Structure 1
Amino acid sequence: MKTSIQTAADALQSALSNPAYRVIALTGKWGTGKTYLWQTLKPKNKGVLEVSAFGARNIEDIKRKLFQDSIKVSNIEAKDFAVSAINVLEAIPKKFLGLSVGDAALAALPQMVKKKTIIIDDVERKNKSLEISEVLGLINEFTEKYNCRFLLILNTDSMEDKQIWQSLHEKVIDKEIALNPTSADSFKIAAGGLDTPIITIAKEVFAEYKIQNIRIIKKTLEAVIEILPKQNSLPESLYRAYIPTLIFLGICYFRGFSNGVTLDYAANHIFRQPNEPKNEEWDAMISKIAIRANKLSELAIDYFRLGVMAHEDVAIFFKPLKANIKNAEFQNRIDTFIKDLYWSLEQTETDVQSFLLILTKKIYRLDAGQISRFFDDLCLHGYKSEAEHLLSAWLEKAKSDPDAYKKLEYVYRERAPKRLWEFKAKLNPPEEKIVSLKEAVQSYLLTDQLTQKSINTLSSATKEEYESTLKSLTTAELKDFFELHFRLGERRENYWRSAQESFIAACKDISMTATETKLGIILGRELKLRKL
């Protein structure tokens, strides 16, 4: 059963207000907001004493912390009493009483804590030398002798001596409130103060993964923001495409999944590296999420491992994706206009002229085929002068474009406006440029896409071409170049399979014929790891 933080807070305040409950326990898993919940109620509960059991080696450590906190919150009269008691005890030689300075302070503790409410946090994080039975013994003593009340804040799942806790629980604890918040509750706390476009999407992702741990949500969010610090203006479709992967990797790194899947295991699975031993549950989970294996995922994994983010590479990764979406939105507006031109009963003359005025400024974003069709559509509906005006604007831009022929390459005479065809006839076709193997691979690494020329290059690449290319790579290029071929070689596309075969043959040849070179050693090592 989920317990909202507000519901648990109301229940805890009610328990604190009821003197019949002398010992209250607030329990819940690590990071679910137990301490946060108490801090929200603290203003309503003045004069309480607070100590943390974290690292306490014995019960005296707890008592000293109590004494120190009692001095902070006590009134002047109580402080004067504590000072007087310590002075008197310290004046008596130790050999008579067996007291140290610390013992003197502890002797004054009962008067300082009388009738106080005492909060003990992090009970499960005490030192192993301190038995939980000692803590519960102190609680029993202080409630019986000094009329104290206690609030224990702890994660019982992390307690080592659970049997003792269970056996004493019924005798000591009067009221237990278990905090089991929803992902939405935890996210609201973790994301407090963060102002970023990813928040809405991130909330959905953490809810899908059922993450309740506030610390892990907060750390993961901070990491994602660090990975994308200059990408606050991305289209929502890109956020939805890539934020889930970044969050998944972050949760893995911070060990936030209940099944314990690690970042290294996820990374190997995503990029088709061997995992030994295999974990079928983890494999099924990662496959179901369908994480994108791309440059951004590589950069994010490197960030979690090394703490350094290559922001320029992130910007390069998103640049063509943003351009594609921008072009798609532009094309959708054209398509909608044409559809309305043909069928809309509401489209007015003003609507048409307003759209064409805006379009004139962006007209060269249309290719020659699109401007030809648009020209025909306008003429068909009585806008011939407007069509000629738009065509003139397009041709004016084309005159200063050294790559104009590419836009006109697939325009045919019978389908093009006369002036467009005449313009093409005056252009000289550019020399055919062959895409090198290195260019084809690097283009894919940057854009996650291949042109037909790049596909042709990969399909025909020989072992010798790969050998030459491998020897020309820099240190910064080698790792990505190598891993890409094993990541994509198992895909169905024949050109990748063919390229991988030539690539592996080249790697084997270099590793066997250049065994003493650093390149030969690296390639040999990687082939051996992959059992090739």
Structure 2
Amino acid sequence: MSIDKTKENLKELIADEGNRVIALSGKWGTGKSYLWKSVQEDAGLDSVKDALYISLFGIRDISQLKVKLVQGALADPNGSGKIMQWINDSWQRWGKPLRALKANASDVIDELALLAVPKILNERFIVLDDIERKHDKLDISEVMGFIDEYTQKHKARFLLILNSDQLADKTMWDTLREKIIDYEVVLNTSPEEAFLIALEAHPCVYAPSVSDAVKKCSITNIRIIQKIIRAVNRLLANRGVLNDATLARVIPSTVLLGAIHYRGIPDGPDAKFVLSFNIDSHQQAKEFKGKMGADRTQRDRLEDQWALLMGRLNIPNCDEFEAVANSFFETGLIEEGKLKFVIDRYVAEAMADSTRQRVEDFIYKITWNPEISDHELLLQAEALIPEMHTMDPYYLTSVHATVSQLPEGKPVAERMIERWLENYREHETSRFEGDYILNRGLHPKIAEEFEADKARIYPALSLLDVCKRVEQKGNPEDRDEKTMKLSTPEQFENEIRALSGKDLQTFMMKNFEFYSNRERFAYPFGMAMENFVLACRTICKKNDDLKRANLIRHLFDRYASSSDLLDESGLPATPLEATRNRLKQH
């Protein structure tokens, strides 16, 4: 039953004074106290407007309950004067005898309060809340006796409010219902109603998105929803207006993790399941178990239900945001840097997707809507310029080519490129894409910008740098390959002549390794190995640095072949080779 229907039903029952004891039951946090206050405000009976409201939480005995009722009555400005007068009169009459019996002055006051109870509760409307949270020492039969006494002797009326899902002893409620309750109303608050009540105390600019997620999670506990709304407000504070795609990415996860943390979903998933969830992996694991004929466990069935919930919330997988949000619920602290980074990324991705869709619609019109004039198409292209910075540079290159084909389209296409470059240059962190991907073309201005950016961030490597990097990493990377492909015999010669010690050893031994495995390195390094040999041949032929030349000859004898130092005519490239050949002839 919805709150509105329950309210009307409860008002009718209260209006009938023949109903001495009425019960309002429902799950914890679903708005029973809220409903009572609403009924009380609209009540036509003064007794209902002036009703005494007492929570039985922790109350140990009936005497303590009566003292609480007196305290509640004293808090009422309309009736406290008469009650105080009665207590004062009783003090004059009973104070001295009670002081003789009680050592503690507060005990005397409590006794006087107890004497005042029949007078105070006469014909009063009394609300007893949290009956299921009474102290174990307070027996339910005592509560029943108290209610029966004051309804019969003092014409009091009672409204009992109880959380039906938190009863430790179900027979207690059955006994109350059977013995003393005239009518019972059960409140079944819907998630939508619970959210609207929670929203009254905690406004939220993202209310529609939060409400939708609350409904999909079937959360009806108003207190939990209020905590979730506060969490959303904190996580998204000062974020400005977020687009729908970003909200769809962050709100459902926040609501779900909040509901898990505050235990708002019966038999719901745990945070570990959510943080590691991937719909494809879940489905593959399920199919694999089915093929293997494995018995399905209770956990398997629960995880299937949880996966369906993730599907309703449109959460196919989780990433950094869920980790940050879950950390917030567990610690109360926000990792602001990580949160800003991931939300900014969601915003940028959503904007890029929106722009790409608009661009694709525009290109479709060029091809399939010949009735649209070139002038109108040009105007539509100009309207896209402010958003072109979100485009992938390769896709932008393709769009540039298409727009350039329109009459007078070249200047517009160039402004698209310039807008992209302006945004690219504004960012401190480089985003260059590297060499062409899958042979896709890249506009020359963008390619030039990328090369300049790479040169700034990654200064040119020396040939020795390449040898050291490959020795350390095992395989050459793009920069290593490019350096070797662009190398010349003169560069190798200069490097060999300039190096000494450990650097010379590393350089020579690594290049002999490349040369010995030239079939493997021919593609990534191009002519680099041949250039190395030419450089060595030149140094030996000039023989102007005898020790370095002899070192090269020795290394070729050991790690390659001395014949590799012969020149193109087949003549010995060095005096040493000529001497060896003459000795062989004799």
- TM-score of the superposition, structure 2-length normalised? 0.63
> Bigger CA drift: 88-97 or 134-143?
88-97
Tell me which residue corresponds to 2:251. 243
Tell me which residue corresponds to 2:49. 46
Tell me which residue corresponds to 2:545. none
Aligned with residue 324 of structure 2, among 299, 321, 326 = 299
Is 2:341 the partner of 1:316? yes
The Cα shift of 1:279 comes to: 3.7
Aligned with residue 232 of structure 2, among 197, 207, 224 = 224
CA RMSD of aligned residues (A): 3.9
Instruction: Give, in whole Å, the separation in 2 of the partners of 1:264 and 1:371.
Output: 41
Provide closer, same or farther for how the CA distance between residues 410 and 60 of structure 1 changes in structure 2, counting only shifts above 3 A.
Answer: closer
Provide closer, same or farther for how the CA distance between residues 195 and 100 of structure 1 changes in structure 2, counting only shifts above 3 A.
Answer: closer
Tell me which residue corresponds to 1:285. 305
Instruction: Give, in whole Å, the separation in 1 of the partners of 2:130 and 2:323.
Output: 37
Instruction: Give, in whole Å, the separation in 1 of the partners of 2:219 and 2:157.
Output: 33
The Cα shift of 1:255 comes to: 1.2
Tell me which residue corresponds to 1:56. 59
Identical-pair percentage: 24
The Cα shift of 1:372 comes to: 5.2
Tell me which residue corresponds to 2:523. none
The Cα shift of 1:234 comes to: 2.7
Tell me which residue corresponds to 2:577. none
Unaligned stretches of 5+ residues in structure 2: 282-296, 460-476, 479-586
Provide closer, same or farther for how the CA distance between residues 86 and 333 of structure 1 changes in structure 2, counting only shifts above 3 A.
Answer: same
Please state whether the residue corresponding to 1:153 is helix, strand or coil: strand
Please state whether the residue corresponding to 2:59 is helix, strand or coil: coil
Provide closer, same or farther for how the CA distance between residues 263 and 337 of structure 1 changes in structure 2, counting only shifts above 3 A.
Answer: closer
Q: Across the two proteins, how many residue pairs are aligned to each other?
A: 424
Tell me which residue corresponds to 2:221. 213
Provide closer, same or farther for how the CA distance between residues 42 and 346 of structure 1 changes in structure 2, counting only shifts above 3 A.
Answer: farther
Tell me which residue corresponds to 2:132. 124
Aligned with residue 138 of structure 1, among 146, 151, 161 = 146
Q: Which amino acid aligns with 1:37?
A: L
Please state whether the residue corresponding to 1:309 is helix, strand or coil: coil
1:86 and 1:108 in contact (8 A); partners too: no
Please state whether the residue corresponding to 2:49 is helix, strand or coil: coil
Provide closer, same or farther for how the CA distance between residues 84 and 349 of structure 1 changes in structure 2, counting only shifts above 3 A.
Answer: farther
The Cα shift of 1:161 comes to: 3.6
2:382 and 2:412 in contact (8 A); partners too: no
Instruction: Give, in whole Å, the separation in 1 of the partners of 2:278 and 2:399.
Output: 44
The Cα shift of 1:163 comes to: 1.9
Please state whether the residue corresponding to 2:409 is helix, strand or coil: helix
Structure 1 residues 351-388: Cα deviation after superposition (integer angstroms, max 9, x where no partner): 434334434455565566545544554465xx432324
The Cα shift of 1:101 comes to: 2.7
Please state whether the residue corresponding to 1:115 is helix, strand or coil: coil
Instruction: Give, in whole Å, the separation in 1 of the partners of 2:96 and 2:181.
Output: 40
Provide closer, same or farther for how the CA distance between residues 213 and 385 of structure 1 changes in structure 2, counting only shifts above 3 A.
Answer: same
Instruction: Give, in whole Å, the separation in 1 of the partners of 2:251 and 2:202.
Output: 16
Q: Which amino acid aligns with 2:218?
A: K
Instruction: Give, in whole Å, the separation in 1 of the partners of 2:51 and 2:199.
Output: 29
Q: Which amino acid aligns with 1:61?
A: Q
Matches within 5 A, 1:451-466: none
Instruction: Give, in whole Å, the separation in 2 of the partners of 1:404 and 1:260.
Output: 41
Aligned with residue 386 of structure 1, among 400, 404, 409 = 409
Provide closer, same or farther for how the CA distance between residues 64 and 385 of structure 1 changes in structure 2, counting only shifts above 3 A.
Answer: same
Structure 1 residues 162-196: Cα deviation after superposition (integer angstroms, max 9, x where no partner): 32431342220011111111111111112225444
> Bigger CA drift: 329-338 or 7-16?
329-338
The Cα shift of 1:242 comes to: 3.2
Structure 1 residues 453-512: Cα deviation after superposition (integer angstroms, max 9, x where no partner): 9xxxxxxxxxxxxxxxxxxxxxxxxxxxxxxxxxxxxxxxxxxxxxxxxxxxxxxxxxxx
Unaligned stretches of 5+ residues in structure 1: 435-451, 454-532
Tell me which residue corresponds to 1:15. 13
Matches within 5 A, 1:50-449: 50-73=53-76, 74=79, 76-94=81-99, 100-259=108-267, 261-263=269-271, 279-290=299-310, 292-344=317-369, 347=372, 351-361=376-386, 369-370=394-395, 373-378=398-403, 380=405, 383-391=406-414, 394=417, 409=436, 430=454
1:86 and 1:105 in contact (8 A); partners too: no
2:73 and 2:80 in contact (8 A); partners too: no
2:374 and 2:407 in contact (8 A); partners too: no
Tell me which residue corresponds to 2:579. none
- TM-score of the superposition, structure 1-length normalised? 0.69
Structure 1 residues 90-135: Cα deviation after superposition (integer angstroms, max 9, x where no partner): 1335557998331122112211211111111111111111111111
Q: Which amino acid aligns with 1:127?
A: H
Please state whether the residue corresponding to 2:87 is helix, strand or coil: helix
Please state whether the residue corresponding to 2:22 is helix, strand or coil: strand
2:385 and 2:415 in contact (8 A); partners too: no
Structure 1 residues 181-216: Cα deviation after superposition (integer angstroms, max 9, x where no partner): 111111111222544453222222222222211112
Provide closer, same or farther for how the CA distance between residues 302 and 343 of structure 1 changes in structure 2, counting only shifts above 3 A.
Answer: same
Larger radius of gyration: 2
Instruction: Give, in whole Å, the separation in 1 of the partners of 2:191 and 2:263.
Output: 16
Please state whether the residue corresponding to 1:257 is helix, strand or coil: coil
